[in-house]
Each structure stands twice: as C-alpha cells, then as structure tokens.
C-alpha cells in the first residue's frame, strides 16, 4: 500500500518535494470533490454539486499533468486560479458566512504556502485575503446578495461537520506527506553528504599517494640519466642501469595509466561493450607481453588457458583487469617464482584464475584490498604503485556483471578469481548494469599498460 501511494505521488529524486505535495493535494481534492457531488445533491444544493464536479475535473487534470507529464508550475497556477474562482461561487451558493466556505478559504491559505513557489507567496496570500474580505464586506453591505441555501439547521450542521471532517483529513494527509517528504529529502542529503565525504577522502588519499609515489620513480629516472651523462661506465654497468631505468619507467607508466582510467571512470563514465569472447584469444597479446616482463625478473609466466573457453565480457576491460593482476603477481613474486593463468567452467559460470607463489597478502590487509585504504606497497624488488590497480579491477569487473574474489596465504601465494557468465541467456535474471553514461572507453588492445 505504501509503495502504491509513493508511486501515485511520485518518488524522489525524480519528483521534488513541492511536486509530491501538489500531487497529494490534487488526489485528495479529486476524491473529496467526488464525494461532495452526491452530498450536495442529497442536501438539495445542485449548484454546489456542479461546482464539485468542476473541482473534481480540474484536480484530476492538474494531477495528470503534474504526475505523468511533469509540468508542475503551470498547473499550480491553473489549480490556484480555478480554486479561488470556485470558492467565490461556493461562498455565494453555500450560505456565505453561515456556510463552511470560510473554513475552506483558510485551508486554501494553507495549501498556498505549501505548494506555490516562494517568490509567488505574497501574490497568492494577498489574493486570498482580498477575496475573503471582499466577500465579507459585500455580504455585510448587501444582505440580499447571498441567501441561505439550507432547508433547515440540520442540513447546515451536516454540511459544516462534513466539511470540517474532510478538511481535517485533508490537512492530515498533506502534513503527513510533507513530513515524510522532508525526512526523505533529509536522508538523501545525508547520503549525498556521506558520498561527497568519501569522495573527498579518496581524493585526498590519492593526491597524498601521488605526491610521494610518483616523485620517487621520476627522481630515480632523473638520477639514472645523470649518471649515464656524467660518468664513463662499462657496458655491464650501463646495461644494469638501463634495466633499472626500464623497470622504473614501466612502473611509472602503469601508475599513470591506472590513475587515468580510474579518473575517467569516476568523472566521465564508461560504456561497457559486452560480447562473447574467447578467453585465450583475447588475452593472447597480454600474456605474450607479460611473459617477457616476468622473464626479466626471473619469473615464469605459464599460460594454461584452454582454447574452447568463452565468456561474456568487454575485451578492453578484461585485458586491463588481467594486466593489473599479472603485474601485481610479478611485483610480489620473487625471482625463481611462477605465475599461472588458467580458466575453468563450472555450470553457467567461467572463472579465470591468476595464481602466484609470491609473498601473499597480509591477513590484516585482505578485507580492504579492493580499496585505497591499503595504499601502495613495495614489491620484491622495491616496485611501487599507487594502490589503484585492484580498485580498478573490482570496479571494471562489476561493470561487466562479473565478480572478483581471491584467496591468499602469507608466504605461500595468492590466487585471484574472475567470474563471468559464459552465455548471454544466462544473464537474463541478473540485475541491469549500473553504468554511467559517457564517452566510449578507449580501445585498449593496442595500448601498452606496462
């Protein structure tokens, strides 16, 4: 029932607080007017029955355009103009000061300050006061202008009592809606404030990491170049420095690439192009490049992917994820170690495994491994990163309706698992992707991230 009512008046943030209040007013006005049509006929006041029919039609029309066409301000004005005109008619044909119209005028004032834009307050409030005092003065100066329409005191009592009950019920619904809407808006504001605080903390964390971690490798590159320029070195020394220089450059490029893609994902949004991919073929170039990188460190990278394994994923994002995971494995595996990349199919799911026999992840860091809380750490040869790699892996995996998990034992090694669906039809019951609308992701196949 609550869900139906929320849908009837509109849900935030698509509908503003004023719009939801106005929709409540229109709904209750329509139902109240509809009931009053029959009451006024029973009381022998056919003119007022016609007025109530017009109120019902106007309230229904305003509700339709406000709720479904989302045209608010124009129909607030229409509602206020028509209601004031009809209240004047109601005052004349419903016994003037002896009827319940003044109560309705007071309620109209309450509605005015509830729904009209703030800059229009004084106009509508002044109009309400002018109309009421004009009618009172006119009735006082010309007593015959307004005649009693009640057949007896009982009819007057019923009409006044019924109007009072309707107005109390009306005020209850409107004020309840206002309070609920206020609390909803307050929760949204608190949620947005918390999100902004998290983003600000992430930004500060990121900048502090960058200030330290990018300066160090760039300084190393500068020092290597100065040594090569200022000193005469034999070939073995030059070769050693060049290798160190290459490693430092590769690590710095990886840091910057991850930073750029993370920033793009946060600000511009990414488009995910899901398709059926052959895992071995898609990762072929990535594994070839990283075999050379691993070999330079004395690590063996083993490709155990089968030729017939397919998944539903974005090729560019999948390559980026696997690149980061292999880079991490190389970083935390000592010379002489081994990294294997394999895949298995279990039911409707396919898992890609990146396994190493490196340092493993400390137990106290495992719960925060996919966030910036852990920060960057040194590899077995003092390789350094900004701690964005695994954060990117998680975000990009989830964008593809996938899942990333891991198991790690300090001193033994780490295995990361990437789970994806193997066929499109198996994704029908899954929740839709929550993807920001933005520019298409760049083609990463030809872009080295090492």
Residue 347 has what pLDDT? 79
Among residues 248, 236, 211, which one has the least CA distance to residue 386? Answer: 211
Partnered with residue 349 across adjacent β-strands are: 346, 421
Out of 93-97, 265-269, 419-423, least confident range: 265-269
Evaluate if residue 378 carries a pLDDT over 80.
no
Mean pLDDT of 57-77: 89
pTM: 0.49
Q: How confident is the model at residue 175 (pLDDT cuts 50, 70, 90)?
A: confident
Q: Measured between alpha carbons, how far is 40 from 46 in angstroms, rounded to an integer? A: 6
Residue 417 has what pLDDT? 95
Contacts of 257 (CB under 8 A, 6+ apart): 447, 449
Q: Which residues in 306-411 belong to E strands, given as ranges?
A: 310-313, 338-346, 349-356, 403-409
Model confidence pLDDT, tens digit, residues 271-295? 788 999 999 999 998 898 888 888 8
DSSP 440: P
Evaluate if residue 173 carries a pLDDT over 60.
yes
Residue 433 has what pLDDT? 43
The share of the chain scoring above pLDDT 90, in percent, equals 19
Q: Which of 74-88, 163-177, 381-395, 416-430 has the highest mean pLDDT?
A: 74-88
The share of the chain scoring above pLDDT 70, in percent, equals 81
Evaluate if residue 340 carries a pLDDT over 90.
yes
**More reliable by pLDDT, 381 or 115:** 115
Out of 180-189, 215-224, 332-341, 349-358, least confident range: 215-224
Mean pLDDT of 155-177: 82
Q: Measured between alpha carbons, how far is 137 from 155 in angstroms, rounded to an integer? A: 26
Contacts of 265 (CB under 8 A, 6+ apart): 392, 395, 396, 436
User: What is the rounded average pLDDT for all residues in the chain?
Assistant: 80
Out of 146-150, 167-171, 180-184, least confident range: 180-184
């Amino acid at each position: 029932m609550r869900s139906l009512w929320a849908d009837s008046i509109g849900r935030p943030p698509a509908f503003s607080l004023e719009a939801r209040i106005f929709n409540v007013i229109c709904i209750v006005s329509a139902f109240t007017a509809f009931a009053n049509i029959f009451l006024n006929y029973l009381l022998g006041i056919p003119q007022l029955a016609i007025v109530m029919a017009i109120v019902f039609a106007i309230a229904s029309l305003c509700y339709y355009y406000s709720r479904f066409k989302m045209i608010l301000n124009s129909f607030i004005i229409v509602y206020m103009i028509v209601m004031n005109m009809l209240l004047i008619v109601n005052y004349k044909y419903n016994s003037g000061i002896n009827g319940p119209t003044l109560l309705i005028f007071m309620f109209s004032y309450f509605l005015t300050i509830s729904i009209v834009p703030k800059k229009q307050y004084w106009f509508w409030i002044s109009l309400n006061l002018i109309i009421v005092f004009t009618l009172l003065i006119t009735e006082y100066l010309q007593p015959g202008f307004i005649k009693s329409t009640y057949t007896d005191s009982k009819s007057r009592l019923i009409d006044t009592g019924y109007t009072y009950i309707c107005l109390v019920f009306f005020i209850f619904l409107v004020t309840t809606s206002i309070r609920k809407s206020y609390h909803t808006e307050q929760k949204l504001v608190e949620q947005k404030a918390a999100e902004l605080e998290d983003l600000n903390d992430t930004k500060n964390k990121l900048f502090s990491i960058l200030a330290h971690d990018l300066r160090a490798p760039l300084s190393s590159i500068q020092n290597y170049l100065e040594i090569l320029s200022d000193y005469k070195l034999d070939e073995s020394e030059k070769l050693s420095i060049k290798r160190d220089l290459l490693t430092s450059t590769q690590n710095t490029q990886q840091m910057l690439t991850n930073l750029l893609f993370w920033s793009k994902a946060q600000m511009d949004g990414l488009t995910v192009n899901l398709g059926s991919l052959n895992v071995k073929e898609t990762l072929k170039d990535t594994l070839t490049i990283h075999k050379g990188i691993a070999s330079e460190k004395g690590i063996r990278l083993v490709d155990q992917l089968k030729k017939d394994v397919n998944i539903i994923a974005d090729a560019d994002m999948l390559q980026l994820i696997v690149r980061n995971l292999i880079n991490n494995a190389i970083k935390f595996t000592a010379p002489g170690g081994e990294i294997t990349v394999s895949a298995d199919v279990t039911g409707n799911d396919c898992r890609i495994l990146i396994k190493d026999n490196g340092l493993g992840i400390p137990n106290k860091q495992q719960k925060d491994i996919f966030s910036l809380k852990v920060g960057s750490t040194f590899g077995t040869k003092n390789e350094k990163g900004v701690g964005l790699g695994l954060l990117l892996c998680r975000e990009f995996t989830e964008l593809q309706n996938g899942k990333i998990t891991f198991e790690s034992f300090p001193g033994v090694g780490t295995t990361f698992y990437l789970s994806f669906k193997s066929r499109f039809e198996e994704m029908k019951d899954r929740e839709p992707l929550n993807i920001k609308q933005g520019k298409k992701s760049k083609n990463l196949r030809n872009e080295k991230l090492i």
